Structure 1
Amino acid sequence: MPSAVSHQGAATDSQQLGSWVPAMASADADLLPELGMLTARSRDLVRNNGVASSGIQTMVDNVVGVGLRLSSKPDWRALGRTAEWGEEWQRNVERLWKEFANGTDCDVARELNFAGLTELMFRNMLMDGDAISLPLWKRRPGARFATCLQVVESDRLSNPDGRMDDANLRGGIEYSGDGEPLFYNIRKTHPGDYMLGVASLAGVWERIPARTAWGRKRVIHLHEKERTGQSRGKPLFAAVISQFKMLDKYAGAELDAAVINAMMAAFIETEMGGAELMELFGGSEGVNKEVSRRNKGRPKLKSGSIVPLYPGEKVSPFMPARPAAQFEAFVVAVLRQIAAALGLPYELLLKDFSRTTYSSARAALLEAWRMFRSKREKLATYWAQPVFELWLEEAINIGLIEAPGFYENRAAYCCARWIGPGRGWVDPVKEAQAAQIRMEIGVSTLEAECSEQGLDWEEVLEQRAREQKRIQELGLTPASAASISVLAATQQKEEEAANDGQGTSRAA
């Protein structure tokens, strides 16, 4: 009798779905009790699985690259200023920001610059689900700015003394009745740090307010929310941890089978006992005089040896069915599922474009680029922008930047864009021509096109002006648009000729 439910997916009396009755819990109830194990397994995968490590590195390279570059965009209209003032203010801010971001004084440990901190935060978010940084204020010799950042391992964010989660304390974060984070409870050291003199601090927590009394951030907590009320993030690999582990075991078993195949070619069926076989394989002699005499003329088993057989013995060929003929196809199918769960094209996850055409490669990279841009915007919004605002507040307060009414017009002064690594080109000539056409018909700008390649349009124009001036000084002739067009046409003809040749050979 058919189920009476309106949605077949909710049927509880069907043979396929009857035993599938998952619990319906809140976001934190689903995640927090299992977050520790998910994080530990995710880190283990990244350490020991080449594909998982490649996935993380691909994300980092394309979202962060060599760092996020600031392009300050003050809203001069809202501030009642002119465009010329905005450009001059922008140049001054970007110059001072470079001084702060390119040095290591922005790191409380003075080990990483801002690009290094950005990469570390993003990598932590992918592997652990959370990335935490504490903005600090430290006056130090040789440092122009007191603002600096301390990246904290997410494991240190936890409930004090192992308290159970409740309505206001979840995953180490204390909330107001409206769901606003008020305090973060962070251990003095990592709970798994057993080094001498450090373990004693593992049971000490510091209760850090989310903001100061005047609104300055004290904690930057970077994580992706999937559900309302979710306090902590989950690792990128959470949905595919089991597939990764099972694939590891399967690949290991196939590798063992391949090694055994290379070492063993046949079996010898014989009536000899254990002692005789031990001596035949090079074991101790003299176990049995008769056996020793019998085996004396027979060569010991080794690579390439021919062993004579006695009456009653026969050779049985060793012909295992491993590695399986469908091993590669099965592995590729599983990896495609993993790639889909990570939001990466299979070719990009495996770094394998050997079976990809230009069209499919471009489609795959465009799909990946949408995901990279989305993650970069979130990284810029919830990490780079807050750090920039903290630094800008200090720079204004110490008189390096003029910003009257900053606290009343903070949003107007802090407007900015963040430029990440370039998208790259599959076919540079075709895509450069496409960029030129977009600008000529008015659907794009030089700023947008340069941003797509990780460049600042003003720096590009200034550099071009310097180069053209130097070319004129030396009496050289710059490459003209006509010569570039001839070059592009020549390349197109060569490609068409090559394609025609391939078509002829296929037809033959």
Structure 2
Amino acid sequence: MNVIAKAIDGIVTTVSPEKGLKRAAARRQNQILNSGYGNHGASTTKKSMKGWLFGGGSAREDIEDNLDVLRQRSRDLYMGVPLATGAVKTMRTNVVGRGLKLKPTIDREILGITPEEAQKLEKQIEREWALWAENNDCDMARLDNFYELQQLAFSNWLQSGDCLALLPTSKRKNQPYDTRIQLVEADRLCSPYYIDKLDGSIVNGVEVDQNGEVIAYYIANRHPLSYEQKEMKWTRVKAYGSKTGRKNVLHLMSRERIDQRRGTPFLAPVIESLKQLGRYTDAELVAAVISGMFTVFIEKEDNSEGDAIGNIIPEDQQVDEEDEGSIEIGAGAVIDLAAGEKAHDINPGRPNANFGGFVEAICQQIGAALEIPYEVLMKRFNSSFTASRGALEEAWKMFRTYRDWLARDFCQPVYEEWLSEAVAKGRISAPGFFTDPLIHYAYCKAEWNGPAKGMLDPVKEVNAAEKRVSNGFSTRANETMEMTGGDFYANVEQLKKEEEKMKEVREIAKKGTETSAKGTKTE
């Protein structure tokens, strides 16, 4: 504050202490507002910011109190708006596809075994796993195998924000394993009688202790929105077993905020945009259909009550003769209008020339929010090779992130639970599995491989893969998995068998040729 301003403030304060105090307060407030973010994003004085209504709260107020509406709207969009359906299915197909496949990678150095022993054990684990995972018996409902359950769990997470998986046991005929997977829809996870605890220990069916650790889940015996004539009851399921410490519940969710206990639907940030775009698309579709019809208005100078113009057409030639409000014009008909009547045709101007460009701009914003590039979201690769390749690369960064998350939170825990049963029943030999956590970890190490990334130009992609391998930037196993989703070692073994067969065929063909040549020479 300069000398003149101080002098003026001193005079005002002497004459009127009250006004002097107000000047000082106003000056102080102005200093605060004009510092840092207060002069930009946090400004409350700029005209562009004054009309901004905002409010905030914890994860509970901002997210969890709104989940019921978000879930139902998200599912409605999935069932009725094509773009929303496409976004969810694009995620499911590229992240899960036909299911993430198990590849055991046991740590042989920790276990102190040879590479041959490790490979033999891994093959045995794969065979036993296939016996359980590829059978519908792994599902408590006995409807899907493990790979189909992955698709169902991930799709439900996309639409609802979270999904539960229980791991009960149940004996079944001709199945050596008792471990089962029971998926539970997000709505069934709710507080008893829909009442959360005031102290925050139970919120939306999730119970935590004083340290914030999740200790239990409350699961309703039926869907809250179901018409079933059955009394609602809740079961408290501990998150971990009291004696074994095993996971009783797998809670599939992705947190956005600290202290958040329930997940948000994948489409939550773009619900309004998708709904408005769906309405706009429907309106344009209806307008385009109407424009395909020839519409005529008859302008009259008086209020005459004569017959409608369409009544001139004989009833046997009318398309909709049963509708009294239908006025039709016959094919090639020449109709004489009454005195004072004029005919005006209507051109609704559809299809809208700006429809495609506008929808494309909105879809680009929606794709950016969902991390799905426009080209991938709309399945349109009509740009240059470089642009299309860049879109695929960006999309696969996101797909891999979600694939790793699904593998860590769903596939790997289920696999470890199954492997524990296999070892306990003696079907797989794993000394020290239950006594040493490090050995347990070494046996349980695994990779989960999913669908491969698409190739825009296979020749260029293969050449690039060869250079990466020759320069040591990658391995044949990694490139095989990335390009085809296959197993390099399985491919090598299969190629070895094929080469042996082809060698036999060549030898047989060669002997046949020699025999034929000898016969010709003898003659």
- Alpha-carbon deviations, 1:284-315, whole Å to 9, x = none? 99xxxxxxxxxxxxx95346544322332222
Offset of 1:59 from its aligned partner?
0.8
Distance of 1:372 and 1:151 partners within structure 2 = 23
Offset of 1:476 from its aligned partner?
8.4
Which shows bigger deviation, 418-427 or 263-272?
263-272
Secondary structure of 2:292's aligned partner? helix
Offset of 1:275 from its aligned partner?
4.4
Distance of 2:247 and 2:154 partners within structure 1 = 19
User: Which residue matches 1:289?
Assistant: none
User: Which residue matches 1:106?
Assistant: 138
Distance of 1:171 and 1:414 partners within structure 2 = 33
Indicate yes or no: 2:204 matched with 1:171: yes
Q: 1:155 to 1:302 in 2, by over 3 A?
A: farther
Q: 1:305 to 1:50 in 2, by over 3 A?
A: farther
Indicate yes or no: 2:375 matched with 1:347: yes
Distance of 1:45 and 1:141 partners within structure 2 = 42
Output aligned runs, 1:314-333, within 5 Å: 314-333=342-361
The aligned amino acid for 1:134 is L
Q: CA RMSD in A?
A: 2.2
Indicate yes or no: 2:483 matched with 1:471: no
User: Which residue matches 1:449?
Assistant: 479
Give the total of aligned pairs.
458
* Contact 1:165–1:171 (Cα < 8 Å) also in 2: no
Secondary structure of 1:212's aligned partner? coil
User: Which residue matches 1:205?
Assistant: 234
- Alpha-carbon deviations, 1:340-380, whole Å to 9, x = none? 11111112111222x32222111111111111111000000
* Contact 1:130–1:223 (Cα < 8 Å) also in 2: yes
Offset of 1:316 from its aligned partner?
2.6
Output aligned runs, 1:153-232, within 5 Å: 153-166=185-198, 167-195=200-228, 199-201=229-231, 203-213=232-242, 214-232=244-262
Q: 1:270 to 1:177 in 2, by over 3 A?
A: same
Secondary structure of 1:142's aligned partner? coil
Output aligned runs, 1:368-379, within 5 Å: 368-379=395-406
User: Which residue matches 1:83?
Assistant: 115
Secondary structure of 2:109's aligned partner? coil
Which residues of structure 2 form unaligned runs of 5+? Answer: 1-29, 315-326, 509-523
Offset of 1:444 from its aligned partner?
1.0
Distance of 2:336 and 2:369 partners within structure 1 = 57
Q: 1:283 to 1:245 in 2, by over 3 A?
A: farther
- Alpha-carbon deviations, 1:12-55, whole Å to 9, x = none? 11111123242221112211111000000100111111111111
User: Which residue matches 2:470?
Assistant: 440
* Contact 2:216–2:236 (Cα < 8 Å) also in 1: yes
Q: 1:180 to 1:17 in 2, by over 3 A?
A: same
Indicate yes or no: 2:88 matched with 1:60: no
Which residues of structure 1 form unaligned runs of 5+? Answer: 286-298, 478-508
* Contact 2:302–2:340 (Cα < 8 Å) also in 1: no
Match of 1:461 among 488, 492, 499: 492
Match of 1:26 among 26, 34, 58: 58
Offset of 1:323 from its aligned partner?
4.3
Which shows bigger deviation, 417-426 or 14-23?
14-23
Match of 1:73 among 92, 101, 105: 105
Distance of 1:281 and 1:265 partners within structure 2 = 13
Match of 1:237 among 267, 287, 290: 267
If the length of structure 1 is used for normalisation, what is the TM-score? 0.86
Distance of 1:104 and 1:447 partners within structure 2 = 30
Q: 1:449 to 1:276 in 2, by over 3 A?
A: same
Indicate yes or no: 2:164 matched with 1:132: yes
Secondary structure of 2:429's aligned partner? coil
* Contact 1:5–1:11 (Cα < 8 Å) also in 2: no
Offset of 1:264 from its aligned partner?
3.2
User: Which residue matches 2:22?
Assistant: none
- Alpha-carbon deviations, 1:419-454, whole Å to 9, x = none? 111112111111111111111121111111111121
Distance of 2:166 and 2:52 partners within structure 1 = 43
Distance of 1:178 and 1:89 partners within structure 2 = 41
Distance of 1:241 and 1:193 partners within structure 2 = 24
User: Which residue matches 2:19?
Assistant: none
User: Which residue matches 1:502?
Assistant: none
The aligned amino acid for 1:141 is K
* Contact 2:313–2:328 (Cα < 8 Å) also in 1: no
Q: 1:261 to 1:305 in 2, by over 3 A?
A: farther
User: Which residue matches 1:307?
Assistant: 335
User: Which residue matches 1:293?
Assistant: none
Match of 2:289 among 233, 248, 259: 259
Match of 1:381 among 408, 412, 415: 408
Distance of 1:32 and 1:420 partners within structure 2 = 32
Indicate yes or no: 2:394 matched with 1:367: yes
> How much identity, in percent, do the aligned residues show?
38
